[in-house]
Amino acid sequence: MLTPRRTNVLLVAFLAAVLPPLTYRLMPAWFPSSFWLLLGYAAVFAAAALSLNLLMGYAGQISLGHAALLGIGAFTSGLITSKLGQSMAVGIPAAALAGGLVALLVGLPALRLKGLYLAIITLSLGYMMVNSIFRMSIFAGGSAGVEMPRRIAGDLLLNNHADYLAMSLVVLLGIWLVDSNVTRSKLGRAFAAIREDEAVAQAFGINVSRYKLMAFVLSGAIAGLAGALYGHLSFSVSADTFSFEKISLPLVIMVVVGGLGSRVGVAVAAFFFMLFPQLPVLNNLHGWDLVIGAFLLMYTVARHPGGFTEMIAEARDRRRKRALAKAAQPGQDEDIEEKGAIPKLPSLPRPSGLAERPQVAGANLLEVEDVRVAFGGLRAVDGASLEVPRGQIVGLIGPNGAGKSTLFNAISGLVRPDSGVVRFLGQEIQDLAPHARAERGIARTFQNIGLAKSLTVRQNLLLAQHIVAGYNPVQALGFTRKTARVEAELLERADQALAALDFERFAHEPLRNLSHGQQRIVEIGCALVTAPELIMLDEPSAGMSPGAAENLALRLRDLRDELGRTVLLIEHNVPLVLDVCDYIYVLNYGSVLAHGSTAMIARQPEVIGAYFGEEVVA
């Protein structure tokens, strides 16, 4: 099927393949061979920069050893084309494979952990490759390096720089397409959530280590490919080609200055930094280009972390906002704060990608038995037990520091209990990762909004459906028919939710631009969009006006009565709790002080005492 997108892609591919060879042959005097060689280097660096951008810009992980990944690709393709006499059609894909494989081996230990460990190990990898592996005679031909013939087949070589550029541009276009498939599928959203906040990503049901690894492997494969292109462009490579300062550092400059996460910006920056120092006017730059690049890099991260792309976008945004402010009716956006109107929560059909959940006998959806969580010497949760029957609203109250949120974390999986059992739908889940618990039907909100604040409201609603996006990463990279169908479905559900919440006007607004109360509503919408069995709300009324809190009670009852959900609620607003809950647990010092039906709890004086932090006299 020839969609407009496909037509465009084919057109660009055709131009990339035809224009350079044709121009060179028609006007060799104006566009000599050296011109095409220079453009070739720019194209290769653009590919390498896109690879680093995928890792750093999308997933927020730093690599300081991208030169090593390029080198692995170059030497692999060099071996295959020179020693084995094979075509680049074998060598270049093999280079991508090798780059991805090295990234997998290095990323596996480093990306399980939170923090900057990837930067450390890739830095070390870079030095090890340049000083050891790339100098080994078996692999890399010793210090002399390897030949990199541009072999098409047999003795047919692509020695003309313009022809080679055409090939490089087609490969670059392929990388561009894969990259754009990343950003328009669940992969890109998952990367963005991880970059924003790993805990938030986990709560969305994203397997953080796996997705970080995926980003690095993908980045490694593209880097390997770029390395092979680079090697064949130069006809030979040696270890010194792939030094830290010649490749790894300039790539960081290109990605950051171009704009972390911006495909266009990064590609433009790569072409700019490769071509600008070569302008005849600037004949004797004497290395000033790198100095300027370094200054730009520091200026950008300190002032505009989104790079030049963001500076442009910000200017556009300001214009848009002014226009919006003019158009908006007064008071429209302060509904929740002023009038206390909370929109009706969306009732959405069950998503098709959702796995069947066991229908268990017994009335309890969730059972917590004797759970203990200690942080050092502090016993935050100290033998707490509770039961949440299906179809009820259960309240969890207690003074600050009683361990309510920690208990929530133990149930949703953000902390692993030291001992005790958490049973959901009849199965023990205390050892499962947060994303696995989300898949089983536990959704939650956070005291301080567990959403990706720099993403738009709509993106958050899409992100919330991560666990029901039923296509695999390979299907995502190819953006297959199935991926397209699922994505369309997710988008439809997101838009239904937006419509139900009456938040359509915020669809493309970054979440942080919304008021606290509005963010809270979006968060509840996100929790509902995957049709969870249990919804855990951590202080939903915090930051809401009294009127809104009253309305919240209405909506919570809707959750139970109309949507048939089960709710576990942490709340400081006692009237609200007494109003909506069927059953209440009172937590103090990490264990259950009292529990009972709402009417019963309301009568107990020690509960009120614990709540307001007074000593309980037994």
Partner 1 sequence: MLASIVLGLVAGTIYGLLAVGIVLIYKGSRVLNFAQGEIGTFSLYVTSILSTQMHAPYLVAAAGAVITAGLIGFLFELLVVRRMGGASRLTVTIATVGLLTLLISLEFMRFGPAPQPVPSPVEGVGPVIAGVYISPSQELSVVIILLLGAALTIFLRYTDFGLAVMATAQDATAVRLMGIPLSRVTAFTWTTGCAVAAVAALLISPTIGIGVAPNFMGLLFVSALAAALVGGLTSLPGAFVGGLVIGVIEGLSFQAGSVVTAVPGFKEIAIFAVILAVLLFRPQGLLGKEA
- Residues lying near partner 1 in the complex (CB under 8 A) are found at 60, 62, 64, 106, 109-110, 112-113, 116-117, 119-121, 123-125, 127-128, 131-133, 135-138, 195, 244-245, 249, 252-253, 256, 286-288, 290-291, 293-295, 297-298, 301-302, 305
Would you put residue 241 in left (φ > 0), alpha (ψ -120 to 50) or beta?
A: alpha
Smaller CB separation from partner 1, 88 or 110: 110
Helices (DSSP H) in 79-116: which residue ranges? 88-110
Q: How far is the CB of 458 from partner 1 (least distance, A)?
A: 24
Tell which residue, 130, 133, 132, has the closest CA to residue 240. Answer: 130
Task: Give the residues across from 375 on adjacent strands.
Answer: 378
Q: How far is the CB of 538 from partner 1 (least distance, A)?
A: 23
Residues 6+ apart with CB under 8 A from 598: 395, 577, 578, 581, 582, 583, 584
**Two tokens at 177?**
């397409």
Q: How far is the CB of 383 from partner 1 (least distance, A)?
A: 23
Q: How far is the CB of 237 from partner 1 (least distance, A)?
A: 17
Are residues 256 and 160 in contact, defined by beta-carbon separation less than 8 angstroms? no
Q: How far is the CB of 21 from partner 1 (least distance, A)?
A: 36
Q: How far is the CB of 418 from partner 1 (least distance, A)?
A: 13
Identity of the amino acid at 287: G
Smaller CB separation from partner 1, 178 or 249: 249
Q: How far is the CB of 240 from partner 1 (least distance, A)?
A: 10
Smaller CB separation from partner 1, 125 or 229: 125
Are residues 467 and 502 in contact, defined by beta-carbon separation less than 8 angstroms? no
Are residues 274 and 41 in contact, defined by beta-carbon separation less than 8 angstroms? yes
**Two tokens at 502?**
């009456």
Smaller CB separation from partner 1, 117 or 276: 117
3-state SS assignment for residue 318: helix
Helices (DSSP H) in 397-480: which residue ranges? 404-412, 434-440, 457-463, 473-478
Smaller CB separation from partner 1, 120 or 500: 120
Smaller CB separation from partner 1, 115 or 358: 115
Enter the DSSP assignment of 350: P
Smaller CB separation from partner 1, 112 or 319: 112
Smaller CB separation from partner 1, 116 or 282: 116
Smaller CB separation from partner 1, 123 or 436: 123
> What's the rounded Cα separation, in Å, for the pair 403 and 451?
22
Identity of the amino acid at 49: A
Smaller CB separation from partner 1, 244 or 276: 244
DSSP assignment string, 206-270: --HHHHHHHHHHHHHHHHHHHHHHHHHHHSEE-GGGG-IIIIIHHHHHHHHHH-TT-HHHHHHHH
Smaller CB separation from partner 1, 196 or 335: 196
Enter the DSSP assignment of 506: G
Q: How far is the CB of 152 from partner 1 (least distance, A)?
A: 34
- State the residue for tokens 């009324």: 541
Q: How far is the CB of 524 from partner 1 (least distance, A)?
A: 27
**Two tokens at 51?**
């690879």
Pairing type for strands 146-147 and 236-237 reads antiparallel
> What's the rounded Cα separation, in Å, for the pair 202 and 188?
15
> What's the rounded Cα separation, in Å, for the pair 502 and 517?
14
Instruction: Establish how many alpha carbons lie within 13 A of residue 67's alpha carbon, considering only the half-sphere containing its beta carbon.
Output: 27
Q: How far is the CB of 121 from partner 1 (least distance, A)?
A: 5
Q: How far is the CB of 460 from partner 1 (least distance, A)?
A: 19
